[in-house]
Structures are given as C-alpha cells and as structure tokens.
Structure 1
C-alpha cells in the first residue's frame, strides 16, 4: 500500500472514530450530565425547603461569639428581600457589646434571652427612605421580609435566632432607641437575638388546610 492510500485509510478510520464518539456522547454522556444537573437542582430545592421547614425560635445560646463572616452573610440575605418600589427603607444595627446587649434586654421585656446571647441585630425602618403619602407604612412589610431572610440565613449558617418585636409598642421603641442613641429617622421594628444554639426544640408543623382558600381552574 503506497503512502497516499495509507493516508486515505487513516482519514477514514479517524472519521469513523469521531462518529462513534459523537454517538456515545449524544446517547450516553449527555443524558448523564442532564440527570446530574436535574438531581443537583432537586437537591438544592429540597435544601431550601428544609431550611424553611426546620427553622424555629431559639432562646438559649452557647457562650461563643458569632463570626463576622456569618454576620455579613446574614445582613446580605436580609437586604436581598423585596421592597415596595425598591425603596429599601431599612437600617440594621449590629450589637455584640455585652453592656449594650444587657441594656437592650431591659428595654424589651420579651428579650430577656439577650442576657446570654452574643449578638443582636436591630432591624429599623428609615423614615428618610420610606414611600411618601399613603404608601409610607409599606416599610413595615419591607423590614419584616428582611427579618425573615435574616432568620433563615441564621438557621442555614448553624445559628439560632428569635424575633423579638418592638414596633408598634411605643414604650419598647423608645427604650431601644434610647439604648442605641438612634437618630429620629430610625424606628426599631424588632430585635433579632442570635447565637449558637444551646437548645434544639422541634420545629412546629404550622400547615393547616383550613387556612387556605382556592380560586383555581379545574384541571
């Protein structure tokens, strides 16, 4: 066989190999990749739903500080919440000073767990960022959505947290404002008390079919 014929045969063999590999990729490896992607997506969905379902209020904490990295992640999660007209009318006060935490525990009679907690984040509404006119009170919904994000992020990070309310109780708002020397434009909605859990209560299943009404098309 001369050199030219050998070259032709080699090209034919390479072409056949390329076709076989292409068929294998199309029939075998691609579906496997799709299956892996689908499984990963399903696992991610379940992880999110499990984080929501297993979160519960924690009121007892270990004597260890919360890392700054985790505080930053919780604040980022909080500020990812939706807001009316994207006003983002919130302000967050991070407190880990023992003397201030103790003072805050006295400012809110339902926040006595602050005596043991290493961290509190006070979620405030900022009147300078609120919608003017009739939509002003949407700040309450906006800051509440941010608070829920914060609670879920804390749980995902292995922390325990509890929402202690302030607004609209005027005495609590005033007491918290005094402790933190808040400017007049900031209204404390709540204090989220945070730490590593020293208790592990079972989450409550709050789903109740009777709390749902449906207006849906027949399938």
Structure 2
C-alpha cells in the first residue's frame, strides 16, 4: 500500500481531471506489462481505477465526475491524501485450468432458430459442467478491441434469487430458476459505454444459445441503468466501483415448451443501399 499527498489537477482543455503519481507504479507495483488497476482512497473516499502511462516512468489517474462530486472538487487545484494498492487481478495457475465442460447437442444455426425464452423451471439443479460451459460461452463472445470487459456473478443462493425476483415483476422468473448469472461491464477496462453494452449483449446471447444447446432453458432480464433494481443489485452483490450490472440470465431445466417460429423478414434486408 502506497500512501502519499498530491494535487487534483484539471488540464488546460478542461477535459481531463487527474492526479499524477509521485512514483513509478510499474516498478513499485512490479507490473512491467499491461494495464495497472488500483484501489484505495482519496481523502477517505474509496475508489477503483486504472492508471494511465505518460511515458518516462510517469503515470496519472483520472478523477471522474462522480468522484469529483464526492470530493467537493470545484475545478481548482486541490490537495488530497491518497492510499493506493494494486488490485489483484492475477489468476493463480491452478485456477486458470479450463474446468470440465458439457457438450451441446444442437448445431449453432439450429440453436439460433429454435431458442425461445423460458420462464418456468423444474427444481432440478444445474450441473457444474453445464454451468462452466455457459460461463465459458460468455467469455468467448466478441469484444471491441479485444478488451473483454465482462464479469459474471453466479447466483445460486435461493434467498438472493427470491429477493431479486420479488423486487422486479419483470424478473419474477428468477425465483424459480436454478441459477442466475449477472453479466456486468467493467468501465475501468472499457470506458466507452456503447462498447460495454455491445460486449455484454454479445456475451448474453452466447450464453443463452449455450443454455439452449445444453437442453436447458433461460431468459434475459435487462437491468435499466439507475433504476431501483439496478441499485439493489449493486448493493446486494457488493459490486466494485465502475462495475455495472447489464443483465441477469435466469436459467434451469425447463418446465415449459415454447414452439419456435419463422422470423425471416425480407423487408428488413437491404442490399448496398436502403
């Protein structure tokens, strides 16, 4: 843990507010390659952020508008007391081994055409290999610039599933699901919100197709930003700063059948020009 005093600075353009580190973070945190994620406090206000290299062994950390508000920063130089430590994002070798996986019984095109949203489930639990397969499917989704900002929070606790279900009518199916997976976007990894939304959506679709291919059923429950449900999810899951819930997938062994339908619509296809 590094403890130091510095100043919050707003650059001449007015677009960047930051602090400059009084040490070389790559050397101090022994991180010569890749991004450095840090956690700590600024004047006792907790933060989680990513350092930006300025060359010559210098790094800065930007201060976003929400943090500026917390600190009562008004645009002029401000002295602050900072604690900073590297966030442990390293995965132990033994945990990085690919877990046991299940095999889909449906080819990808058939899975796309026949998948339907399932909202009723049996009490049968999900096997570990099936859960791992669904999670890995999300990890294989395309990602803007290969940044992969998605996190997956697995919920199997019945009380938590029921609370999330009862607090949102549109997510009532969570109460009967064997499992819920909260798909989150990390704003420290990808700062462009449109890319975070796209990456998370791609991960959700991959997981829903995987669920269907394994003979399970699932449904996408969207999380509206800044809604009461959004705030409840952040609080209940103790999500880190800048990790934002995008959707919850409720799934399990299906207790209903839904017939697939033909969705080809020639009027929605345009060649070369509208």
Give the TM-score, by structure 2 length.
Answer: 0.59
Which position in structure 2 is the counterpart of 1:12? none
Equivalent of 1:61 in 121, 130, 139:
121
Please give the alpha-carbon distance, in whole angstroms, between the structure 2 residues aligned to 1:168 and 1:90.
Answer: 16
SS in 2 for 1:110: helix
The answer (yes or no) to whether the contact 1:167–1:187 under 8 Å persists in 2 is no
Matches for 1:76-95 after TM superposition, within 5 Å:
76-95=136-155
Which position in structure 2 is the counterpart of 1:18? none
Please give the alpha-carbon distance, in whole angstroms, between the structure 2 residues aligned to 1:191 and 1:197.
Answer: 17
Aligned length: 169
Equivalent of 1:73 in 133, 136, 154:
133
Which position in structure 1 is the counterpart of 2:96? none
Equivalent of 1:143 in 157, 177, 200:
200
Unpaired stretches in structure 1, ≥5 consecutive residues: 1-43
Matches for 1:188-203 after TM superposition, within 5 Å:
188-203=245-260
Of 179-188 and 72-81, deviating more is 179-188
Please give the alpha-carbon distance, in whole angstroms, between the structure 2 residues aligned to 1:107 and 1:84.
Answer: 33
Of 198-207 and 163-172, deviating more is 163-172
Deviations 1:171-213 (A, max 9, x none): 2211211222222221110100000000011123222111111
Of 112-121 and 173-182, deviating more is 173-182
Which position in structure 2 is the counterpart of 1:182? 239
Matches for 1:93-104 after TM superposition, within 5 Å:
93-104=153-164
Matches for 1:7-26 after TM superposition, within 5 Å:
none
Please give the alpha-carbon distance, in whole angstroms, between the structure 1 residues aligned to 2:262 and 2:237.
Answer: 36
Structure with the greater alpha carbon radius of gyration: 1
> Of Structure 1 and Structure 2, which has the larger fraction of its residues in helix?
1
Unpaired stretches in structure 2, ≥5 consecutive residues: 1-103
Please give the alpha-carbon distance, in whole angstroms, between the structure 2 residues aligned to 1:140 and 1:189.
Answer: 7
Which position in structure 1 is the counterpart of 2:35? none
Q: Highest relative contact order (Cα 8 Å, sep 6+), 1 or 2? A: 1
Please give the alpha-carbon distance, in whole angstroms, between the structure 1 residues aligned to 2:130 and 2:174.
Answer: 19
1:172 correspondence with 2:172: no
The answer (yes or no) to whether the contact 1:108–1:166 under 8 Å persists in 2 is no
SS in 2 for 1:137: helix
After the TM superposition, which parts of structure 1 deviate over 3 Å for at least 4 consecutive aligned residues? none
Which position in structure 2 is the counterpart of 1:112? 172
Please give the alpha-carbon distance, in whole angstroms, between the structure 1 residues aligned to 2:159 and 2:270.
Answer: 49
1:163 correspondence with 2:223: no
Give the TM-score, by structure 1 length.
Answer: 0.73
> Of Structure 1 and Structure 2, which has the larger fraction of its residues in strand?
2
The answer (yes or no) to whether the contact 1:103–1:179 under 8 Å persists in 2 is no
SS in 2 for 1:152: helix
Pairwise CA RMSD: 1.8
